[in-house]
Amino acid sequence: MFIKLKSPLLVKKMSKTPTKELSTTSNETTEEQLPVKQLLKKKQIQLLFPYAERQEAKTLGAKWDANLKMWYYPSVDGSIPEELTKYKAPDVFLEYDDKEYYKNVLTSMKFDKLRKVWMVNTKDFKTFNKL
């Protein structure tokens, strides 16, 4: 393997380093590589909450996605803080004709245009299951 370097300073630094440090096999994993792999597997857990409670959610780690116009929590392992579980947004499957009725009953109801499904927060989801 040949490495083409433009700067003579880099050549001097690399020539002083032992070859053991330069050669790594694909089976070896270092501590520096683990966070990068975990960041690639990040999940966005969608959240629904009233506008007035956005500051509280921000302090708990909620982020705003301007493209989707949705709040989310970036999670590596799929878990969410205890305080944010009430804002987690499960999917609700409704008939098109029933949506106007449910909009009045479920105040947090929002349509996800990308996945084409209705969502509500956990509190309204419990109400929906009782109906």
Range of the domain at 94: 39-130
- Would residue 6 count as lying in a domain? no
Assigned domain for 61 exists: yes
Mean of pLDDT over the chain: 77
Judge whether 53 lies within some domain. yes
Could you report the per-residue pLDDT of 73-108, keeping only the tens digit for each?
Answer: 998 888 899 999 999 999 999 888 888 999 999 989
Percent of the chain with pLDDT over 70: 69
42 is written with which tokens?
A: 């990040």
Q: How far is CA 82 from CA 20, 57, 60, 75, 115, in A?
A: 46, 12, 10, 13, 26
In a domain, 60, yes or no: yes
Question: Residue 130 in 3-state DSSP?
Answer: helix
Give the integer Cα–Cα distance in Å for 2 and 63.
Answer: 44
98, part of any domain: yes
Q: In the 8-state DSSP scheme, what is residue 66?
A: T
- Domain-embedded: residue 64: yes
State how many domains the chain has: 1
Q: Is residue 102 part of a domain?
A: yes
Q: Read off the pLDDT of each residue in 104-118 and give the average, rounded to a whole number.
A: 90
In this structure, is residue 78 part of a structural domain?
yes
